[in-house]
């Protein structure tokens, strides 16, 4: 009964928060790169006036049989979303330990994510050519929420990537990296990630975006509300 009440409360809170976030979709499963970063070069912007030079933070769904599940529907067609269009759901039944604490959990491996009925998130830099970039880093530049957030990779000794504002890690251009995501309390979280890298022709480039998470998984009623809002979503087809 307690979890049912919390799920309903979380769903109502999420629905009320949607206008501020412009969110139209809830991600409840499947593979999604979030955060993902693309780039429009100065040359590309000069040749196409519709483009704006700079880093493009987004969410990238590769589609196919493992595509992202948005508003209860698997998206098998490759597409991209603005970060504020999608709220990432963390099931209340998906938990794990890290150090002495237990967290609501988005797993590092696809097998564990499927077993937990949870989204499988990756850090996507595949759109950035290794021949054009160096000194690439991603910083957790902002956290808002009711509890702690921890991102790590498993191993003989777990590798802590992010747990505090200002934590920064080097990434390779062209890479695809999966981490465990842990959230200590129920509620709505926002995480801001900042990308910094040196483009061989355009110099140092920086871009940031905020991504949204909710624990526990929203209620069916909230999914219905967001499903209707999804008709107005600003989806970007690849």
What are the DSSP calls for 186-235, one per residue? SEEEEEEEEEEEEETTTEEEEEEEEEEEEESPPPHHHHHHHHHHGGG---
| % of the chain surpassing 70 pLDDT | 82
Average pLDDT, the chain: 87
State which H helix or E strand residue 103 sits in. strand 101-106
Domain count, the chain: 1
The residue among 184 and 18 whose pLDDT is bigger is 184
**What is the number of other CB atoms lying within 10 angstroms of the CB of residue 229?**
18
**Domain residues for 162?**
2-237
Q: Is the pLDDT of residue 21 over 80?
A: no
Spatial contact of 68 and 74, defined as CB atoms under 8 Å apart? yes
Displacement of CA 19 from its chain's centroid (Å): 19
For 20, counting Cβ atoms within 10 Å of its Cβ (0-12 exposed, 13-18 middle, 19+ buried), the class is exposed
| Per-residue pLDDT reduced to its tens digit, 155-165 | 989 999 999 99
| Per-residue pLDDT reduced to its tens digit, 89-137 | 999 999 999 999 999 999 999 999 999 999 999 999 999 999 999 999 9
Identify which of 61, 120, 58 has the alpha carbon closest to the alpha carbon of residue 83. 58
- What pTM was computed for the model? 0.86
What are the Cα distances from residue 178, in Å, to 2, 103, 143?
A: 32, 17, 20
Identify which of 121, 111, 109, 117 has the alpha carbon closest to the alpha carbon of residue 83. 121
| Per-residue pLDDT reduced to its tens digit, 58-90 | 999 999 999 999 999 999 999 999 999 999 999
């Amino acid at each position: 009964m307690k979890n049912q009440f919390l799920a309903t409360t979380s769903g109502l809170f999420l629905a009320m928060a949607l206008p501020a976030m412009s969110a139209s979709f809830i991600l409840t499963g499947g593979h999604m790169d979030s955060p993902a970063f693309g780039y429009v070069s100065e040359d590309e912007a000069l040749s196409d006036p519709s483009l704006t030079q700079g880093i493009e933070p987004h969410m990238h769904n590769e589609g196919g049989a493992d595509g992202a599940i948005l508003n209860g529907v698997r998206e098998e067609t490759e597409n991209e979303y603005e970060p504020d269009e999608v709220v990432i759901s963390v099931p209340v039944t998906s938990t794990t330990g890290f150090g002495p604490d237990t967290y609501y959990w988005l797993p590092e491996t696809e097998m564990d994510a499927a077993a937990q009925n949870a989204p499988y998130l990756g850090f996507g830099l595949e759109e950035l050519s290794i021949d054009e970039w160096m000194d690439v880093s991603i910083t957790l530049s902002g956290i808002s929420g009711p509890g702690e957030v921890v991102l790590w990779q498993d191993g003989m000794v777990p590798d802590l990537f992010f747990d505090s504002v200002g934590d920064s890690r080097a990434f390779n251009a062209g890479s695809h990296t999966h981490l465990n995501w842990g959230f200590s309390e129920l509620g709505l979280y926002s995480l801001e990630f900042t990308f910094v890298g040196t483009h061989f022709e355009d110099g140092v480039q920086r871009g940031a975006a905020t991504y949204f998470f909710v624990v526990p998984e929203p209620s069916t009623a909230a999914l219905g509300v967001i499903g209707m809002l999804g008709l107005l979503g600003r989806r970007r087809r690849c």
